[in-house]
Structure formats: structure tokens, C-alpha cells
Structure 1
């Protein structure tokens, strides 16, 4: 009986030893970098428990403007101090002399420190190269002058660039073969999300030293600098944004207190986004409180700007020329117009934005071909694959931007209703287009009908600045309007600004000659018992030698508020001052 108990006890002990051994092997051999369903890197976590460290660079790739200026971070030369200095006798007076502070200030900061610190915190002052060399020349262990990357407090074109966040489950769902995901930042919105695979960190750059249980140096005051072994990584994305123009247009939006809406500026020759301003502003502390949406990529009600599409279709199809007259004393249903203009032709109809003209033309076009308005919106680069799309490495049909799909009608039944068609012809009812699409339409007209996809990035670059992949200018597929129609549209859009009857004579005082189209769209919303509108101006400039296409929209404003012309003019003048 005793022998039997001993045998069972021995078996139980043996099983226990086997299970413990298996567990140890799991922890130390098989799942050291990807333990449990949370994919915990045990090596990193064990190092973190017995070290104090200061991250110099989190290792994620960054976004640069078209000239290579950083958009998402700032580099500062700063003084780094380690807390073990409080237990040492070191020449604090020398360091204080170099940075022009008293020794007592430095000593106080070190006494308060529980880990390595950047002297001055987030507001750390910039050390000169001479100060850095002098500090590092002292060779004091625990005192370093380094160049550190700080996340920019205000990121230009913040909604376009997007945000990052830590989400371990999402990281491993996207990248199941990668093990370093426990504290890895990933792109959540915008270009941060779209370009995420090329930007994720391989390894942080940091200053590190080992500590005992009390926080004291474990192996003496020996600080090590750890950095990625590959000097070509992380990769950076060079955007098309012009930092100076972006900031100038941000100032215009703030000056006119745009609460919802924004500005989008394209380089016509290269079809590149130079500035993307969306309001409300995104709060870095709470980005999803209402400011994360990029309204420049959202499909919105355009109002009369859409009449440009109707005019292009009618001229291209031979339905209208300048000899045909329209009764602009009447509204779209025959009742007296609010602003009568008499019998006028297509040129004057665009200048005064006559609703009757475009309601009649839309009905003729849709009766002839139910899909004609969509087709011509595509021919103008307003609808379709607007953002750059193509094959990038293993990605097929990679798209640079999350652009909303626009529309003209929502059902075939609407195409059969003449009242629906009439309202659609003046940009109301269910018509929805993006500011990006409208800017691209204006650029297409300015180029004589040539339509291109819009670029937000020009290349993915190695850390040394050489290109790993470039995004060339690409034509949009499909048919386009005739050069004659494009030429006529150029003349008519100029008349909106410089003709006596035009709706936007205020813009003729801008520093560049402008061509474009106004729009006031009903939104179906109310505030304080009054209807709200989207106010638009979409155009290009200079008229004779077009370089820029610009769209401005002030959303959800009362009819007597939120004037769009001063916003557009000041934006044009800001570009002129920077470029001329």
C-alpha cells in the first residue's frame, strides 16, 4: 500500500516537473517574442523591468512636405540627464555654464527625476551645435546632448496626414508575422493608415541603463545608446504638401472662423495637393471629438458649381451654343425667378448662374441619355478614381487617399422624373461631390481637358533621402471633353469674375486673375429656425497661365453669413505673396 502511494506520488511529481519544464521552454525558447494571445514580447518586457530608458526616436517613419521639411515631428538638440547623477560628484557647474542656467536649477531637476529627463521638458530649449559639442566633450556619464524627435504639437494638414495609436490586436491582425507589436503605434486614419506598412517601427532609438530594485545603477553608471542597425530605415513618405502654403491657408481659415468646411489647393501641372485645410480643427488630445474628418475628401452638396458639368455636357453634345437663348426671368418650374435676367445665352447663364438654363439643359441631356451627367462628371475628373491609384509592390490598385464616392442620382427612378432632373441640373437634390473632385475638375478645364489622378505623395523614401518608390503623374482613364468645350468653359468661368453681370466681381480684385464658379447648396438642415447652406467657390488661377486650382467651402452657414469670396480671395493673395 505504501509502495503504491509512493509510485503515484512519484508519477505526480514527474508530471509536475514535465509541465514546469514545458512552461519554461514555452517562455524561454518558443514564445519569447510572442507570448499568449496578446503577443507579448517577453524579452522586451523583462528588459523594461530592469532598465530606465529615454526614447530618442520612436522609430516610426514620418511624413515630409514636398521640400523635405518634417510635417509630423520636430527635431531638437536637447540636454538629457540621468537620475543617478544625484548620487555622484560631477561638474554640474560646467554644464550650467554652457547652457546659461544656474547649477541649482539643474540639481533640482535631477533630484525630482525618477527616470532620465530632457532638461526643460516639452519646452526644452534648442542647443546649438557648439553647445552640443562642448557638453559631449566633457564625457560625463549620464549627461548627453542629443538630437531628439518630438511629435509636432500642431501638424499641418492634420486630417490628410491622419493619426496613430496603440492597438495590439489590430497590429497583429494587420501584421501577423511581426512580433514587436505590444507598444507599436499604427496608423488609424488618413495617410497614416494607408501608408502604415511602410511606416511601422522596426526598432526605437534610445538611451538605456540597467537599474537595481531601488533604481540605482546595476552595473555602474554605464549608459548605452541603442539604435536600429539598418541606416536606411524607417522609411519616410514625401507628400505633395507645401508647408508654407499650407500654413498660410490655415491662417485664412482661422481668420474667417470657418467652423465647418475648408480649402483645397492643387498644383495644376502635376495634379498634386499643395494644401488641404479642413475644419473643425482636429484636437490631438481627442481627435475623434469632431475634428478627425477631412471634409476635403467627403462628398458634399455642391449647388451651382455642378452647373459646370451640365454646360460641358450640353456643349460637347451639340445641344447648346451661344446663339441659343434661355428665359431667365423664370425659375426651373416656370414661376418668376427671384433674380430675373431676361433672355440670355449659355455664356451669360454661367456668369449669372441662371437656374432655368441648367434645369432645361439637364432635362434634355438625361432624356437623351439617362447617364449623361455621370459620364461628363467623369470626363471632367469630378467623379471616378480621382486619387492616385496603381500597383505598389504587392498591392494592386493601391490608392493614396480615402476619397468618398460622389454621385449624381441615387436611383434610376429619379432619372425619369423631370422635376428631379431639373433640381439635379442645378446641383441640388442628391448630387454629392468632393472638394477634391471639384478642384480636379477645375484643373482639368484649365489644362484644356486633360484629366489626371491627384497625388498626395510623390515617393516613399529611405532614411538617407533616396527613393524606394515614386508615384508618377497618371492620367485618369476614360473619355474626356473636347478641347473646344474646355476653351469655351475657360472663357465662361472667367466671365463669372470679370464680367459686369458675373456673380463674383469681388474676386477680380485678387492679385491673380481668377476663373471659377460659385455655388450655394441647400443642405436640408436648420439652425435657429433658419435654413443652412454650403457656400462654394471653385476656380483656378492665374487665368492666362493656370498654375493652381482652388476650392473653398463654408458649410452649414446661414444665407447672410459665411461669405466665401473674401476667403477665396485672401487664399489666392496668400499664394501670390509666397510664390511671386
Structure 2
């Protein structure tokens, strides 16, 4: 039946009148019948509670997905018990003073420091020890003593602390910003997002379902209503939070971080790859960072393992590969080094020169004159093609397209591709080519690329994409996605590096340690091969050096490829990169760091 306009108006008024009557009846019921009834678990009536109650929700866990190492050891998400301090007025403060002094002893802090922090907030706060940016974990003894105080203005709660306390060299993991430790209390639509590293790369995937929040009823003075029970709200979804298993060996990572700390290493990085497939086992960046206390202007959050730096003589691997592939040199060809090249202002690092020396010996002793001569026999294109064939001049980290709603997933955040020649390079300038051939001028590669170049030689010229992420799983262990290893294959077109050339270069790297610039490594626990490098750079107008050592081992059955870069060193300082490389050799010789099932990568 079709209603006319007048009938529609009448019906509308009838519906509105009925709604008002129902609402009025409900209010009357509450006012007349319910106002004297007690709330469950409380001495307050409904009316009293409605006048008194406000809620303060403490976020115990953001619900964000977590990261583990290759063996399932957690890298994020550490459950601690910590204290929540609720505000007090002056009268309450005066009355509680004796117990507060006892509390300061329990928390191992100064009474004035405790009260100063407590006074500053008009909202409940998580207890932070002095100078600590994260909530302080309490021992079982501390918790028991706090409960004995029966102090109503403090609660002890379980808390999911995202990162371990202190400094770390895991810049590849990154950090998150938004409502977490700094903004304790839950607000609608909390903005928690990854700002760098894996946290940033996987942010849209691991944001989670919903946070775990404990709600405390408080009165108008922000004081907890003691006889009303707190309520916990948490996700009931069995699939969340997600878990990301990385390729990192947490024990190895920590042990190498300790080595760099003992060596007082300034700027630089150490990268360890699995020789079988280029998986990243450890990636340490210096200086360390604190993911809970980020100062972006300081730059310590940057992952120097994926930042390009001037390589110096480790780039001679590229020059040697190009020369061998294009037949412009034979391993036993002889050269004469007097210490001066006679052109382009180039000299050899060894005063007085190396005398008569073969190409093979020139590599072992890192003779600049030999490699300047080879550079003049090559073209820019041949040198650049060899570099590309070894995975340089491009990003090499594992990546995927159209994954779980992401157009491109790049777990290695801010990875730099580096350079071989500047875009404005004069292709006819032999001097420019000579300087590039010894790893100077505009040449720049990252420690990750350097270690991966070694893996490429171990696989006869096949370039792998180093993985940082292994798989994604649901909270119940069900597999969501597996990031399978990727082989880029032969790169560089006519500049492909053959198995024969790869074998020669591996032999030359053995000679470096046996009789050349890496002889100091002979006295370590295993026999390794490698190449040293020292690049001259300018830092704030001062002459400084980048020190490198890259290599693989054990020689008999390669399990690891390692790159060490120490930046901003004094030109007259010892070669810290070689020393640290030797310490890494000894560390990896331990059975604790045996890669399961690894065999020769050759």
C-alpha cells in the first residue's frame, strides 16, 4: 500500500513517540529500581559507579607481531612484571610517605627520584628506573615486598616489552614509534608503526588484531577505586599476533656485537652470510642504537651494513675478474713495481715498491701498480660489467612483489645500490678508470654486497639474494608465507664471471692469507681466505681510512662468507678490520655456530 505525504508524517511521529516512551521507561527503571543495587564485585551502586567511574587502560601488549631468530629464539616480545604508579593528592601523599620510603628501597632508587617522577604525572605511569627509557622489570622478591606494603597507589602487572633493554647492533630489526612506552594509556586508534628495518618493511602485515589492555576504574581524582575489579580486554583471534622468523643466528649476532664492543670499534659493520645460499646469519652495525630511545638526527639507527662506502683494494677482485675474463692478463704474467706508477699521481702503498711481481702475487700483496696497469688494458664497460656480474652497483637483498597486500616487500630497509662509475664519468679517461680499479674515486659498495660477492665466487659466478626473513607464521604455528631463497643467476651479459675465473680468484684469496697482506690470519683456529682493503676518504675535511677485510672459510669446506668494514680510521692506525676478521674466524670455529647441514659451496 502506497502512503501519501500526510500519512508518512503521521507514522513518523508515532515511531518517534514510541522511541521516547521506551527511553523514558528505561531511565525510570534505572533511577527508581536499579540505583540501590550493588555492582557485581563492588560496594558501589550503579548510580554511584556512574558518577565515580572513569577508566584508565594500561596497554600491556600492543598486539603487534613479533620476530624470532632462525631457531625460534625471540628477538622482540619479552614478558616482564613491572609497577604502575597511580596519582595521589597531597593528603594521600603525606599519609603514604613511610611506605613510599620503603618502596624506594624495594625499587633500588632514591626516594627523591621516585617522588619526583611520581609527582610529574597526572595519569598512572609505568615505573622507569633513572636513565632508563623502558619500564623496569621487577624480580619475584621485589614483587612480594611490594604486595606486603599493601599500598593502594601501586599495581604490579605483566608487561610485553618489545625490545631487550640496552644498546644493540641489530639496526636491520629497526624500531617502532607511536603509542607504546612513551604514551602509556590507550586511546582510540593507537598509531603504532615501524619506522625502519624489518619493523618498517613488514609494518602493514604485523600490525596485529588488537592490543591487550587492562582497564582500571578510577574516580574524578584519577584514584583507583579499590573495590572494583580491573577488566582485561584482549584479542581472542587464535591467528594473531603473527610471528616472523628471521635468518639471523641470535647467538652469533650477540657474540659478534661483543667482539666489536671489546675492540672499541667506532663506525662500520660486520656481515656473516651462509656460504650455501647467502642467508644473513649475523649483521652488526656500529655505532649501536637503542630501539627504545631513538634520536634520528644522531643517525645511530642507520644500518651501515647496507650503506655503500669506498671499498679500496677489496675492489681489486672486480678488476682481476674483468682482466681474467677478457684475457688481458695471465696469472703468471710479470710486472715491475718501483713504488710509483708514473701517471695520474698514483703510487703503490709499499714504499720502494714490490719489485718484479706476477699478477697472482700482485693480488696477494695488493700492488697498486699491477692493478693500474690492468685497468688501462680494460674499458669502463668491461670493468662495470664485471662489477655488475658480482652483484655490485645494484641492490642484492631478497625481495618479493605482490606479497600479502604489499606491492613490493624489501626486508632490507634503506639498502643502497652503491656506484661503480659516476653518471658523469668520462669513458675515455684512463686515469678515472685506474682510480676506480683500485677501489677509489666514485666507487662505493656495502658490506652486504662485499660478503655476497664472496658467496658469488664460491658459487662459480651465480649471484644469490641474501635473505633476512625466512617465513611468516600465525600465532598457532600455521605457515602463512615462506620466503624461499632466490638465485639471481649470471648477471652482466658479456661480463659474466665464469667458474674458471671464480676458482682462480678463490685461489688468489687463499694466497692473500698464506703469504700476502692477510698473513696475520694464519695463526687462527681455522684456515680462511680473503682480501684486505684500505680506502682513502675525507671526513669533515680530514684524511681518514676505510679499512676492509672480506673472505670465506674454512677453506677446505666453506661455510661462511664474512665482510668487515671499519670506517673513519686514522691513516696511521693499525688495520682493525683484519684483526676483527681474525676474531670472527675464531668465533665461527666454535661448534656452537656450525651451520646445520652446510657443505662446500663450491
1:332 touches 1:422 (CA, 8 Å); kept in 2?
A: no
1:163 touches 1:192 (CA, 8 Å); kept in 2?
A: yes
1:526 touches 1:532 (CA, 8 Å); kept in 2?
A: no
2:544 touches 2:570 (CA, 8 Å); kept in 1?
A: yes
Partner of 2:464, secondary structure, is: coil
Q: How far apart, in 1, do the equivalents of 2:223 and 2:310 lie?
A: 64
Relative to 1, partners in 2 of residues 1:456 and 1:359: Cα closer, same or farther, differing over 3 Å? same
2:169 touches 2:286 (CA, 8 Å); kept in 1?
A: no
Displacement of 1:298: 0.8
Q: How far apart, in 1, do the equivalents of 2:289 and 2:62 lie?
A: 23
User: Which residue is 2:308 aligned to?
Assistant: 299
User: Which residue is 1:63 aligned to?
Assistant: 67
Q: How far apart, in 2, do the equivalents of 1:299 and 1:59 lie?
A: 35
Relative to 1, partners in 2 of residues 1:396 and 1:437: Cα closer, same or farther, differing over 3 Å? same
Q: How far apart, in 2, do the equivalents of 1:213 and 1:526 lie?
A: 57
The yes-or-no answer on 1:518 pairing with 2:532 is: yes
**1:48-447 paired onto structure 2 within 5 Å:** 50-76=54-80, 122-127=135-140, 146=158, 148-154=160-166, 156-166=168-178, 182-216=189-223, 220-283=227-290, 284-333=293-342, 337=348, 338-366=351-379, 370-391=380-401, 392-401=403-412, 402-411=414-423, 413-447=425-459
* TM superposition score normalised by structure 1: 0.76
Displacement of 1:497: 0.5
Partner of 2:324, secondary structure, is: helix
1:331 touches 1:355 (CA, 8 Å); kept in 2?
A: no
Relative to 1, partners in 2 of residues 1:465 and 1:74: Cα closer, same or farther, differing over 3 Å? same
Which of 438, 442, 456 aligns to 2:468? It is 456
User: Which residue is 2:546 aligned to?
Assistant: 534
Q: How far apart, in 2, do the equivalents of 1:381 and 1:514 lie?
A: 22
1:78 touches 1:148 (CA, 8 Å); kept in 2?
A: no
CA RMSD of aligned residues (A): 3.4
Q: How far apart, in 2, do the equivalents of 1:167 and 1:221 lie?
A: 27
User: Which residue is 1:565 aligned to?
Assistant: 578
Relative to 1, partners in 2 of residues 1:380 and 1:181: Cα closer, same or farther, differing over 3 Å? farther
Displacement of 1:78: 5.9
Displacement of 1:118: 6.9
2:193 touches 2:203 (CA, 8 Å); kept in 1?
A: yes
1:408 touches 1:424 (CA, 8 Å); kept in 2?
A: yes
Displacement of 1:333: 3.2
1:377-409 CA deviation, whole Å, 9 max, x = no partner? 121223334100222233344322121111111
Which structure 2 residue ranges, 5 or more long, are not aligned?
1-52, 93-101, 130-134, 181-186, 595-602
Structure 1 stretch displaced more, 210-219 or 180-189: 210-219
User: Which residue is 1:509 aligned to?
Assistant: 523
